[in-house]
Amino acid sequence: MAPVDAVLYHPGLVDAGGVLRYRRKKTGELAIAPLPEHVRMLLRDIPLERDSVGPEMPFRSKTSDLFSDTRKWEHRYEGLFKLAGITEVKTDLRVRKPHPYMFRDTFAVWYLTHGASLHTVSRMLGHSKTETTEKAYLPWVREMQQDHIDDARKAQQAIALSANGGNKVVGTAEGKTKTAVA
Q: Where are the domains of the chain?
A: 3-140
Q: Where are the alpha helices (DSSP H) in the chain?
A: 3-7, 37-44, 66-83, 101-113, 118-125, 130-137, 142-163
| pLDDT for residue 150 | 85
pLDDT along the chain (182 residues), means of 10: 95 96 96 95 91 94 96 94 92 84 90 90 95 87 75 88 65 54 51
For the chain, helix, strand, coil in percent to 5 are 50, 15, 35
pLDDT value, residue 25: 96
What fold, for 3-140? hpI Integrase; Chain A (1.10.443)
Q: What is the pLDDT of residue 158?
A: 87
Residue-level pLDDT at 93 = 73
The pLDDT score that the predictor gives to residue 91 is 74
CB-CB neighbours of 122 under 10 Å: 23
57: which residues sit within 8 A by CB, 6+ positions away? 8, 9, 10
